[in-house]
Structure 1
């Protein structure tokens, strides 16, 4: 053993040494040639199995396409039946017919039968796949009896009626059954007739009608609810499978459709329809709904492909022996040796070309990197190709452009920073000038006995200082409500007591952070637009409550409200005031899509705004100064200004 291992180790060591001294292009050539040679040798042993697997996969895919096409066509018809059955219970003419029906009067039954037959033809008459359609009551089977007759008493004592009652208005598909057995007709048991085996859809019709006045009508409770019965023959379900079986060339192909409980709906063995089917793979196929299985049956390996119908949940399948699927494999053997010889002859040429094409872009990238090392960020590599190397070249060029831009932006940012500092110093002068001016006006109003004017000045000063001293986008709800009350007072003075404002907010919410002035645009809209045609009596109610992890605020007014057209435009993002729209956008940006603003309005009665905020928001760094409590800032400023009044005046 050692005598064998030592030469192998020497060979491997020699190959490593040779590879270490070779160029990347040589290494790539050797690697590619060795890989191709290995694949060629492997294909010599495995090509037959791979071909067999591919052929079996192709057959399986072909069978899957047949089943899929079969199910799609069936689903289209069955969905059409379902859609029409959903509209039928609200058909006005059908409701009126049953409402006027006298079950004890034969003439009434005949008139109703003619009208109902016409209604059923209008809904289902254009579909040739449907065998027959009836609407049944305990007294009568309404519908065309040209093809078949359904005894009402037999139907209402059958499992079909029970399935419709349990579904309570939903369409139920009943797999293939024997008509004589289900309808309890022993006279038909030994006879052969066209509708001996049927598959049916049944639906209890909860007939309703809404008249022109909007009144909702239903049939009296003492009346038995009619049941829709749509019948399909077994031939309808197996027709496509029969066509494929005749054209596929497979001698031992079988097919079928089974319900989830194992009942056979249709099968290549006609006598199996309506009976339980228990192949060894059925339970697994029903659980998986779609796929392929291979199993052994009597020493013969079988392939089954299956898929589930979306409309009914029934499973369709095709089953063939694996041996039949591989009949065409023998023709592939002759191509195996030719394929191996061609691959060996061209592998060396491909290895050389591949190594050259791969290493050429790397050489250009290497040269460009050396240029960048010398500080030349304007170096660019000619772009070409859409492969990975082309993408690397484009990213390299973009990187150089970005580096040059960042260098330039760094200098520009420093200049803008200096300009911003100068602008901030200039802006600090304006609030002081406004405070001093409002203080002067406040004391002039007091000296002249203008108490209300003085209070307006005081509130305005508080509002100004609150907004200028708080630079952040958030502050406490307590601060926001204090600011809003001062604003409402000023507006009430301006509009001569046109309205009153009532605020009721849970104490636990007062210290939560909220977006600045998020309530003001809605209060302003109520005053300016809601009370525009009123002389007095306006009321604005603000409520705030906690609901789970959210705080819900409402702003209600008894103004003129919005028209339905304008409310629809506002719901779609149009027609809102800039302030109201901005509040909604700010809330969604701050808290996410689940939060925001909803508008409810009743023209002539008022408007209700619902605002949802999260109780907590993810923290973020804010360079603005910390929020300053401002509940009494304006008053303190006025008093302090009073002490300096002589200096200001």
Structure 2
């Protein structure tokens, strides 16, 4: 029989090992493949998004740099406007004699030579000044590419005239003789605003030093600068590689980004058009350049997955062989801890060791439930009866009758103060014990305060007095029970008692828009700044879990207790403020919403 059991146990143990081996290996295989695919997809999309955003930021930064540089170059061209003699010379040039013309041309050239020297521009090549009829008035060198007629017929001359005071930015024609070192030019029309016919055009040419400096550092990324007429001003790939017509047709908007299929593969094209110059900055990044790091990650990931598969298989084999021993150990352990505390029952669906563990676990849980119902509940009921017996020993009627007897004896012996104090104390106890509601009216709280103040006035003789100022409609306003007494008690013990001479406590209730304002103030000794700061620190939501005072010396139920109860009940619809100055008195104000909610 024992041998038969061992044989069955061994075969079932082998079945568990095989199941665990296949399940564990399959789960790991699926998880690694899933995680690898998701991780690669996320990395691919993230890298693409990052490069797209980076390229957009890069072309916009180039736009800003170009616009700033062009603006500075414009300021240099405005030099004649700072000299009234120059503007007069422009107006009178056509009627000047030859000697005057010579002197004016010389002064005009010197003015711009000084301007370009005072504000040095490293990529500056030359400047030329033309009159309205195309005549070359002055030049910084001997370069004279056009006759007067050719100058007037050129695109840059006509474009500058059309802009009438705005800078015209243009590229340099590739075959322009003697202009090998110049990449682009700026030209500006300068005239007297009252004389549109006589003017000069100042043209300054610049090399591509600035454009090279702002180009991307990556050799694979191509940057192209197009002027307002879509002519290539600068290209990091060289002037002999013009953009494809299909690509140029997609650069029509103010800015954009798209993928373009080129001869060598797909390129990410990002471009922006400058609002200042009308030029376009185009950035082309090959897809292979973008995802080159990702290919290395992909190769590493595949190698990692292959190693993980091998490790997963080995771990699965070891796990399957070792799983049966922990199961047998757990089976023996569960039998030893049947008297522990378990809250769930397991389904019994098999007859192997796991099934035996489940059956023993359920049996243990049944026993625990039986013990709970027969012993634990009995102990709870016993403690409840003992607690009820303890409460029954404190009979409030005995206290009422005793206080009534004291009052009767006081009346009999004509000791009115004792009778009044006993009556007030009895009223207070009745209010605290008979009224079991958490919420009472302001009227009920005031009656309680009346009894309390009667006792204190007898105690302090004529030192203490109080007044109330309540709007008639607020007597029925709901308050939490024991709201006023802690505040009045605080005023008596910490304000009036320590004061020399008489003291006054003032209780006021009035409306302020949609809130009821309840204020308890006194003209006592007040609170020092340090003590007030400590008190205000406790009147915050984080102090709701702090212990509260339980004695009169600590403030009775205390201001903190009143704050905590209202903060829990009303939340943001409640506010408490404490205003006090040393020697001036204290005022505690509660603000409550109309509806308790």
Q: TM-score, normalised by structure 1?
A: 0.46
Find the structure with the greater CA-based Rg: 2
Q: TM-score, normalised by structure 2?
A: 0.49
